[in-house]
Structure 1
């Protein structure tokens, strides 16, 4: 039985290579990568597979060489590969490594929904978080993501990250969200002061209820900067209260950042000029926050100024 190489030589000797096309086919048939494919699949290929697949072989070599030379290929995001189909030679196009990585990046980015959050959190990573004066916070964040990814169907208490402005609270929840996205878990992050303003504007558009429903049902919710700016009792009770009540009942992971401690946030939610009857309402909100999260202090310098 003749070998693949002998068969190709015989085929070339039988043809008059007078045309440019025939010469290109001949060169393609002598390509080392083509030879390896033919030898590896010799038993599966039909006796006339090389003759019938000459154009496919040329297509493969031509498109592959365009990529090597930096020329524009037929399908920029896909690379050719020789395959056996029904005992004949064919060309399939597979996504390039770059396309696969880009698609994975887009898919992971889609798992992190942000509302009025800094762009920098898109690249936040736990491994890049400076642990100086923030070891406890980093450890708590790590423990949370490990628990959440190991057993996502069990309720895990989130974090209430408290500390001065600029110490990295927002970056840390961004890093948590990105880590979870790597494990195919979706998160929603929103800047609560801006969200409160937008909810007031949504009243006239009748979008309050749909927006609350969307936020409260987020698989993992992170409320940033809660308590940074004052908001009305309506926002406290009819927006924040409803969101937190639903998440407490459904045991959905919820995280917070604030420049106020939980005790300070209680006073803030009650308001200094609203009367004593507001305190029980504020305490009810805090009971939900305390159920959903545990308080963790984030220390260190103001990194926005350093």
Structure 2
């Protein structure tokens, strides 16, 4: 390569440094590819030396990246793209393949009116579950959930939801996430709420009438609602009679599908909502609530090991 004809005063040291950098960049495959795509002369490298240096540096990080969680770019999941624009160069940050894949995996998030799932949980899918390592009980519940989503023969008004109960860690929430993600991908508006978190949030906004009513409205009108870990909240008459009972009653009357997860079965959760009281009104209040749960969902007891301690791939 011939020496460049520098148009600005530079020290010999800087000239040598820049010339060496230009030689390095011209030997870089990514720079050669860039020059070929846009049919640019080698002088372009001299005119944009440090910009191309940054471009190569960032691209090398992407070349060795193995996943979005390991991204080393300044803007996570984005790489620098260059495009000549007259005498200037346009710099654009574009999503990398991992970022694009991630965004595609959670594109259904637009169908959630309320969502307490993490980004990882939003990527759970029924098709990713390896049924070969599961027991018969798990497989039967999986099949019931799958059929509920994809069967075209059922009447939506007659189809009940599910009350997934069982010991902590057996995979109830995982299945609920898979289920609601698949439903959202069909274009139905959904809501997924962790009940203890929901109750805490409602308490914090109970004097904000607009926010409170908006939350309740979303819960009542979602096509499909998941109430995760019901019975895990601090029970009170306010929670039971002013929040859950009107919500479930409204969804029952509108034939809105509801899925619950709980560490308690129907009998145990009725006892939970008695509030450890022998008062008649507490017993009746608990029974009224659970009767609506039974009207909305069929009890499915999930059995198995605690997946949180066994490093199970289906968790």
Q: Shorter-chain-normalised TM-score: which range? A: 0.5 to 0.7
Task: Spell out, residue by residue over 1:81-101, the C-alpha distance to the aligned partner (whole angstroms, 9 max, x if none).
Answer: xxxxxxxxxxxxxxxx99997
Give the greater-gyration-radius structure (CA). Answer: 1
Report what 2:121 is aligned to: 121
Taking a change above 3 Å as real, the CA distance of residues 114 and 170 of structure 1, as seen in their structure-2 partners, is: farther
Taking a change above 3 Å as real, the CA distance of residues 171 and 271 of structure 1, as seen in their structure-2 partners, is: same
Q: How does 1:247-258 map to 2 (within 5 A)?
A: 247-258=251-262
Q: Structure 2 stretches of 5 or more lacking a match? A: 1-33, 40-58, 60-80, 85-89, 311-315
Q: Structure 1 stretches of 5 or more lacking a match? A: 1-61, 79-96
Taking a change above 3 Å as real, the CA distance of residues 303 and 208 of structure 1, as seen in their structure-2 partners, is: same
Whether contact under 8 Å (1:163, 1:169) holds in the other structure is: yes
- CA positional deviation for 1:164: 0.7
Whether contact under 8 Å (1:112, 1:178) holds in the other structure is: no
Q: 1:261 aligned to 252, 262, 265, which one?
A: 265
Cα separation, 1, equivalents of 2:176 and 2:280: 34
Residue 160 of structure 1 pairs with residue 182 of structure 2: no
Cα separation, 1, equivalents of 2:35 and 2:149: 44
Query: What is the aligned-residue RMSD (CA, Å)?
Result: 3.3
Residue 230 of structure 1 pairs with residue 234 of structure 2: yes
Cα separation, 1, equivalents of 2:236 and 2:306: 29
Q: 1:201 aligned to 204, 229, 233, which one?
A: 204
Whether contact under 8 Å (1:113, 1:187) holds in the other structure is: yes
When the two structures are superposed, what TM-score results if normalisation uses the length of structure 2? 0.63
Task: Spell out, residue by residue over 1:222-250, the C-alpha distance to the aligned partner (whole angstroms, 9 max, x if none).
Answer: 00000123321111111111111111111
Whether contact under 8 Å (1:155, 1:253) holds in the other structure is: no
- CA positional deviation for 1:73: 4.1
When the two structures are superposed, what TM-score results if normalisation uses the length of structure 1? 0.64
Report what 1:244 is aligned to: 248
Task: Spell out, residue by residue over 1:189-230, the C-alpha distance to the aligned partner (whole angstroms, 9 max, x if none).
Answer: 000011111212222323433321221111110000001233
- Three-state SS of the structure 2 residue aligned to 1:304 is helix
Report the count of equivalent residues: 226
- Three-state SS of the structure 1 residue aligned to 2:82 is coil
- CA positional deviation for 1:300: 1.1
Residue 292 of structure 1 pairs with residue 302 of structure 2: no
Taking a change above 3 Å as real, the CA distance of residues 110 and 278 of structure 1, as seen in their structure-2 partners, is: same
Residue 185 of structure 1 pairs with residue 184 of structure 2: no
- Three-state SS of the structure 1 residue aligned to 2:307 is coil
